[in-house]
Amino acid sequence: MTTRFKFHQLLLIGFLMITCAPVWSAQEWSELDQLAADAQQQVVSWRRHFHSHPELSNREFETAIYVEAALREMGMEVETGIAHTGVVGLLKGGQPGPMVAIRADMDGLPVTEQTGLDFASTSTSEYQGKPVGVMHACGHDTHMAMALGAARVLSAVREQLPGSVLFIFQPAEEGAPLGEEGGAELMLKEGLFERYQPEAIFGMHVGLNVPGGQMAVRSGPAMAAVDYLQINVLGEQTHGAAPWAGVDPIVASSQIIMGLQTIASRQLNITKVPYIITIGKFDAGVRNNIIPDRAEMHGTIRSFDVGMQDDIHARIKRTAESIAASSGATAEVTITKQYPATVNDPGLTEQMLPTLQKVAGDNPIITPDLVTGAEDFAFFARQIPGLYVFLSASDPDQTGFQAPSNHSPFFDVHEPNMELGVRAFSHLVVDYLQQQ
């Protein structure tokens, strides 16, 4: 009798938990959009502040103070000083449920702004020992503003949220200064996902050639893995008038540069995914008539598949060493993995695609080409399912207009598009929590 009573009692409790779970009506969904519209003026103000006051990677001190104040004003639990300057805010919903994360990056670039905007950056700093201008030339100012906008929207409905939201403001997405650690990898190394345990993470990037007023998302690999390549070729110094008396590392290096391109054109299956090997810096010699004993090459490798990435590395090493040996030189190859590929979890992408389409309305969600740029959102998405969305930076009414690219000194964002980003973040969070 007691066992049967307890069994029926448990069934009743389970039924009540299901039937009493918050169910959002169509009106409540539309309220999210209205809250995003109401927040737009503040989002623009946030963006312009960040744009006027950019800071370089691992130096986002004032930016972190500003973000912290905004999150605390919304009543969140805030932690600072993660990976040097990172900030996280925890919004606890009024109903039990899982945790989901939104990530925004904080750092600017060593670029002197030339947009002519009223709120253009006049900031300067030092980068690799040289004085530089500093600019939010990649849209991180808008990423922070949209994340704060979503925080404001979701804070207004926190009692209805069946779970929690972790807002991650990450430093050094563009890469930590030489000799320093930073970014998403360091945040994770310092235990971010041990202290907080989100089930999924959402990120967004403006620009990247998405047409005006639209969003784009690609399931699976979306942005490339990045590796740093250095090849030192060691020869034997001699007079330029008697090259046979030594070993010319410049000629050997030239042959290596050409040989590396045959890896892409002749050695790997190009029908799978693209990959790039680029030598961007070459340094050798001090005088026109002296063949030096050493040449250095520095480059970048871009790939989308882990197995292919390792295969490319092995082929680069073999190619460089063999070509150098054929001329009597020696090649030392060093490859440093920097960022992994940014991969949108296929299950999460499929789950949330209807949400993005709902937010986009009549504009279809675009499936973009693979982006050979990199994003250290990838480190988060290796730990938990991630979804990284691209948002247009350009004005949809400027047909035929070719917007300046990310990292350009002329890069700008059509500010009305940020409302779409805030709506997307807000609906992704609510729909994800509702579906768990």
Residue 276 — φ and ψ, nearest 5°? -135, 135
Tell me the β-bridge partners of 133: 124
Catalytic residue, from 66, 275, 339, 432: name it.
339
Q: Answer yes or no: are the C-beta atoms of 355 and 429 closer than 8 Å.
A: no
**291 burial level (CB within 10 Å; 0-12, 13-18, 19+):** buried
Alpha helices in 134-200 (DSSP H): 140-156, 183-189, 192-195
Length of the chain: 436
Neighbour tally for 198: CB within 10 Å: 23
Rg over alpha carbons for the chain, rounded to the nearest Å, is: 26
Collect all residues with Cβ–Cβ distance below 8 Å to 235 and sequence separation of at least 6. 246, 247, 248, 249, 252, 291, 292, 293, 294, 295, 327, 328, 329
Collect all residues with Cβ–Cβ distance below 8 Å to 306 and sequence separation of at least 6. 225, 340, 341
Residue 347 — φ and ψ, nearest 5°? -65, -45
To the query of whether residue 332 is one of the catalytic residues in this protein, the response is no
To the query of whether residue 388 is one of the catalytic residues in this protein, the response is no
The Cα–Cα gap between 436 and 433 comes to: 6
The Cα–Cα gap between 57 and 176 comes to: 6
The Cα–Cα gap between 32 and 170 comes to: 25
The Cα–Cα gap between 418 and 408 comes to: 20
Which residues are the active-site residues? Answer: 339, 415
